[in-house]
Each structure stands twice: as structure tokens, then as C-alpha cells.
Amino acid sequence: MLYIVGGLSGHVKQTLHGGLQVLFEALKSTTMAPFAIRRPPAMTQPAPSPFRVAVIGGGPAGLMAAEVLAAGGAQVDVYDAMASVGRKFLLAGRGGMNITHSEPAAQFVRRYGARQQQVARWLGEFDADAVRAWIHGLGIETFVGSSGRVFPRDMKAAPLLRAWLQRLREAGVRFHMRHRWLGWQDGRLRIATPEGERLVEADATLLALGGASWARLGSDGAWAPLLAARGVEVAPLAPANCGFDTGWSEHFSSRHAGEPLLTVAAGVRDDDGAIAWRKGQFVVTQTGVEGSLVYALSAPLRDAIARDGSATLWLDLAPDHAAERVMDEVTRPRGARSMSSHLQSRLGIKGVKAGLLRECLARDAYADPALLAQAIKALPVTLLRPRPIDEAISSAGGVRFEALAPCSAMLKDVPGVFVAGEMVDWEAPTGGYLLTACFASGRAAAHGVLAWLAARRG
């Protein structure tokens, strides 16, 4: 423009120059002015893609881990060998869905026996109160029963599971049913599907495959040799919360199999010879004993059988009467009445209780009132073996805590692989303790996964 202006006459140049000056001033006063100095926008970094985490197992621990992982921004894929998730969870709810327990925390954590210190770390993040709050968040009300156990208001597991799965799907969790984990190949997961085997890549893997009880519901323990082959230390899987065989006589079992003992106490002698009695109920079976009172004592009984070849279950058939009262009643003159009639009239001992005295005492001991009175308060029942693991409510054994990285659920020998739930080496009695620890371990393992992935990306 200056070149053209330079070739014009003075008058024209003055006129044109004045017009350009007016135009320039107008441009400066308008909103168009900033465009003359606008710079190209700075390049922005694309958001990092979400980590992909494979959760193997759709039980309580696996589903809880999936929830935490999805909330942490991971893309979560849940693989389960069964046609639907939560099979064992639903079965547990058939008799009333016992979610957790309301007893004080110190007493609660002692239920985990030799592994209470390790389980306490899980519960420190997600305890019984947190379990109830979490269930309430799903729209399910709970109540505390007379025993201190906590149940959903309707006593059912299915509504809780449905609400939970809806939450997980809304969070983006993807479910792959009839997909069985077979191990690894070239760093990828081998998965058997209805369409054939395929390899799956994941940034991290969380195994929550359960123990080895109730194989038909998915907990078959098939994972144990796969981990052992990678150098992971796995304690042998054993039945927990199980019944026991006793070797009843045909005479006794034919008359009393299926009969419950409703008012009884039981115990196991400790190393000092003392018996810690606990009241409850159990059932005489064709081959032995089953029921909640037996399950509560199953760990020391099972361990005694493994160590000594048999174990003694001590029974108090009259737990509401002091030993002195029992002795007075048994030794009271009975005239022409039989001893069985005498025991029924004075102590209410009849039916299966009377049968147990006959079954477990020698004839001369039964005939001796003093020995009989002692046996009523401490009757020894010899147990020969636990029932098969597939019949047990849960299992003991599994991945040892010593095989895990310190304060972590990651396997030392397989980086990027985490474990949770019943496949870890801990056990607990029934009463909500099993489920609470499964929930808590799933959350703890998921937090470990997120921290490990963040550190790697860091």
C-alpha cells in the first residue's frame, strides 16, 4: 500500500492518508482489534486413557474390588466361569442373608484367629459399620437380630445383588460370563470362552476366585496349581465351617440321625487343658455332627485331627444347670425307675441326648451315678475326620500372606497380580464374619491396584 501511495500526487496522498488514519482509528476502537494480535492456541495434552483392570471372579470380593476400581477411573472387566455372578452369595441368602455382625470391633476381629492381625488391616478401612452404610446406600435397609447378626430387612440376598450389579453397570463395569481363567501366556491372560480360548491384555489383574467349597457354584480351587507353578506359596486348601464324621453305631444313627440338639454347649480343650464352652445348636447326622455350634469350633477340631488323627468334641448336655445341681439330681435315689426315666424327670435329658450318653459312655460308666453326672457336663465325642471340602461352607488355606508384597495384596512373584477374598489364607466362623472380610479384602486389594498403577504411570 505504501508503494502505491508513494506514486500518487500530493493532494491525493494527503486525502488518502487522512482516510487511512480514520480507518485505523476506527479499527482500534472496535472489538475486531484483538484479532489482529491473537496467537494460535497452545497445544493441550490428551487425557490419559484409563487403566484396564481384569477382575477374575464375580463373588463378593471381586464385585467389591470392581466397584472401587471403577470409582478410581479404571476400565474394569469382570470374568467369571459361571453363567451369572454371585452364585454362592445367593445361596448363602437362602436361610437369611447374614451380612455382618454388630459385636464390638475388638471382639469382632478376634474371630479371625491366627490371621486377625492381617484381617484387621482390611477391617480398618471397611468394618461392620461401613458394610451396613454401604448396603443402605444401595437402598437396602438392615436390622440387628437377637444374636447380634445383621440382616437385610427382607432377609434376602437377591434384591441386594440386583441393586449392586445395577450400580456397577452404571459405573461402566463390563461382565463376561462363562469365561474361565486358565493362567497366562506371554504376559496375557488365558481365558476359555464359549467361542474358544482367547488372550486378554490388562494393565493389572485382581484374582478373587474363592476357596474350594461348593465347586458347583464356582469355587473349585482350580487356581491353586496355577499360582503354585509361578512360585506363589499356597497353603493347602482345607474345609472350614464344616461337619465331622464320628463313626456312630448303626443302633444310634438309625434312631437319631437328623435330630437337633437345641440346648447344649460345646468346646475344645486348649493346650492348658481348659475348655472354653459356647452354647448353641447342632444336628446329629448319619455319619457325625453338623451345625452352627460345630462350625464355630471346626478350625481347632480340624487341626487336631490333622495333628493327632482324631479330635475330641466336649458336650455339656445340661448347660443351664451347674455341675453340683447335676450331681445332686443324678445321685438322688430313684427307686424302681430306670436311669433313663430318672434323667428325663430330673434334668430333662431324653431323646438324642440320652442316646448320646449311651453311645459315648462305657456301660460301667453309665451305671456309675458320679461318672454319669460328670459325663452330662462334659461328654467326650470322638471325631474322626472333617466332611469333604466341597460340602463345607467355606475353606481354609490359600495364598499365604507371606507371599504378598508388604502391606499389599500383590503377589511378590507375579507383579501386577493382586488377590482378594477367600483365596487368601484366612478363615472365620459363620455369623457375617466371612462376608465382611471378603468385602473388606476386595476393597483393600483394589486400592492397592490403583496405587500400583498410578505409581507406574507417575
> What confidence score (pLDDT) does residue 444 get?
97
- Enumerate the CATH 3.50.50.60 domain ranges in the chain, comma separated: 52-240+394-457
Q: How far is residue 131 from each of residues 136, 167, 364, 436, measured CA to CA in Å?
A: 9, 16, 55, 7
> What confidence score (pLDDT) does residue 335 get?
87
Query: Which residues fall within 8 angstroms of residue 178, CB to CB, at 6 or more apart?
Result: 80, 81, 82, 83, 193, 194
In this prediction, residue 91 has a pLDDT band, given cuts at 50, 70 and 90, of: confident
Rounded CA-CA distance 102/402 in Å is: 30
> What confidence score (pLDDT) does residue 105 get?
95
Q: Looking at domain 52-240+394-457, which CATH architecture does it have? A: 3-Layer(bba) Sandwich (3.50)
Q: Which helix (H) or strand (E) holds 79?
A: strand 75-80
Q: pLDDT digit string (tens) for 99-146?
A: 999 999 999 999 999 999 999 999 999 999 999 999 999 999 999 999
In this prediction, residue 5 has a pLDDT band, given cuts at 50, 70 and 90, of: very low
Examine the pLDDT at 237 and tell me if it is beyond 50: yes
Mean pLDDT score across all residues of the chain: 90
In this prediction, residue 95 has a pLDDT band, given cuts at 50, 70 and 90, of: confident
In this prediction, residue 407 has a pLDDT band, given cuts at 50, 70 and 90, of: confident
% of the chain at pLDDT higher than 90? 83
Q: Average of pLDDT values for 413-425?
A: 97
Report whether 68 contacts 442 (CB < 8 A): yes
- The residue among 102, 64, 94 whose CA lies nearest residue 431 is 102
Report whether 458 contacts 84 (CB < 8 A): no
- The residue among 325, 242, 333, 234 whose CA lies nearest residue 287 is 242
Rounded CA-CA distance 353/389 in Å is: 28
> What confidence score (pLDDT) does residue 457 get?
84
Cell numbers for 143, please give them.
Answer: 436390622
> What confidence score (pLDDT) does residue 92 get?
80
